[in-house]
Structure 1
Amino acid sequence: MIKVLIVDDHAIVRRGLKQILADIPDMEVFGEAASGDEALRFIRDQGWNIMLLDIAMPGKNVMELIKLAKHQSPHLPILILSMYPEDQYAIRMLRAGADGYLTKESAPEQLVEAIRKVAKGGKYISPAMTEKLIAELNPNQEIPLHNTLTDREFQVFCGICAGKSITDLAQQMTLSIKTISTYRTRLMKKMNMSKNAEIIHYAFKNDLLK
């Protein structure tokens, strides 16, 4: 039996996932968490075969949450289930330590396949994403500007897109205001931008916001 932990702040999403998995004989939802902190408490208290994790959780940034979860339970498979486009976020999540990435628009059959593969120790991305990665191996392929950012710079980028101030981000990421400002300066330079409005416009244009 694959013991599933669902981590999503929307009750209706958790209910829908439970309904999908209720008909699968080798899977059962043994726990639900509505925040990253709650998920970490679940991980400490229970043994899970897989965690389904939403990318946009209240509190901790998802990349930080992945790293903390892997620190607490190194062998816990994590499957990201998100409304954000796979081609924009999947690789960054995998680099952070996730084992698979699936959009919430995917068919239930894909979800079941992904859970089984990741729970057995494999990695999962969609066939379409696999083809895109192969295409990007071409040295002449242009790399999107946001993919040149480090994880910390990308966290600041996402925070700015969400309308958070430097002070808000410093509190959320438990870093100094000066450090956050440095990350902002670096990402602005890498992306050839000078204003927050340019970052937000870029995010909308590249389908990075929902």
Structure 2
Amino acid sequence: MTRLVIVDDDAMVRTGLRLILGGEPDFDIVGEAEDGLRAMDVIRDLRPDVVLLDIRMPNQDGLTTTELLRAQPGPPRILVLTTFDADDMVLRALRLGADGFLLKDTPPPRMIEAVRAVATGEPVLSPSVARQVIAAATGGPGPALPQAREELGRLTERELEVAVEVAHGRSNAEIAERLYMSVATVKANITRIFAKLGTDNRVQVAMKVRDAGLL
């Protein structure tokens, strides 16, 4: 059973998410909060597996909340929700270690699938904006940094190939087709890449590839 907490200042959004997710047999919505300050107390008390977190809220926004949660031992998975597909705050949240983000108008089946994926450690980006987010994060080629090159040196040749494809914003299916791998093998490679680089999501991998001068 995956324990969920919903954090959004709009009561209608919280109700909608409860209706979408609450009927799934493997989800248990254990709590909700209307802003980041209240969320910290709720999450501390209830210890959810996944937090669905609005990015724009009064008192304490999702960005600050993400940073504070990631600084704690054993933090929950964080799935950021946003209304806008080019929201700079979303990009900053991903840099801070959020596990992914979805648009609030994501169809219910995709929303359910995304929560399940995040709960198992698989990062999620809305397909419609994944490339935009990664492009904004990398910002084009820059000077190669020795530290980034050293970190990428921990990867096998195949893992490095996958990391570069991730940095170009390609999906697991696209990477599998380009590198003649199964999707399951791509996922396994990405899991190892995250572990070796100490990253939490695809945006952070893309930034390291950029910093190493490989884009």
- TM-score calculated relative to the size of structure 2: 0.58
Cα offset, 1:114, TM superposition: 1.1
Cα deviation 1:95-151 (Å, max 9, x = unaligned): 0221110011111112111111111112110223334467676948xxxxxxxxxxx
Query: What's the RMSD between the two structures over aligned residues?
Result: 2.2
Cα deviation 1:60-114 (Å, max 9, x = unaligned): 2322111112223543100011112246444322102211100111111121111
1:65-80 alignment to 2 at 5 Å?
Answer: 65-80=65-80
Residue of structure 1 in register with 2:62 after alignment: 62
Residue of structure 1 in register with 2:81 after alignment: 81
Structure 2: runs of 5 or more not aligned:
142-215
SS in 1 for 2:55: coil
Matched, 1:38 2:46: no
> Percentage identity across aligned positions?
39
CA contact (8 A) 2:30 2:46 kept: no
Residue of structure 1 in register with 2:160 after alignment: none
Residue of structure 2 in register with 1:95 after alignment: 95
CA contact (8 A) 1:7 1:32 kept: yes
- For residues 24 and 2 of structure 2, what CA distance do their matches in structure 1 show? 10
Distance 1:128 1:68, change over 3 A: same
1:1-210 alignment to 2 at 5 Å?
Answer: 1-86=1-86, 88-132=88-132, 139=140
- For residues 134 and 56 of structure 2, what CA distance do their matches in structure 1 show? 28
- For residues 101 and 48 of structure 2, what CA distance do their matches in structure 1 show? 18
CA contact (8 A) 2:82 2:90 kept: no
Distance 1:44 1:20, change over 3 A: same
SS in 2 for 1:127: coil
- For residues 74 and 96 of structure 1, what CA distance do their matches in structure 2 show? 15
SS in 1 for 2:52: strand
SS in 2 for 1:122: coil
Residue of structure 2 in register with 1:183 after alignment: none
- For residues 139 and 34 of structure 2, what CA distance do their matches in structure 1 show? 41
Which amino acid is 1:60 matched to?
Answer: Q
- For residues 134 and 104 of structure 1, what CA distance do their matches in structure 2 show? 20
CA contact (8 A) 2:7 2:35 kept: yes
Structure 1: runs of 5 or more not aligned:
141-210
- TM-score calculated relative to the size of structure 1: 0.60
- For residues 133 and 33 of structure 2, what CA distance do their matches in structure 1 show? 32
Which amino acid is 2:18 matched to?
Answer: K
Give the length in aligned residue pairs.
140
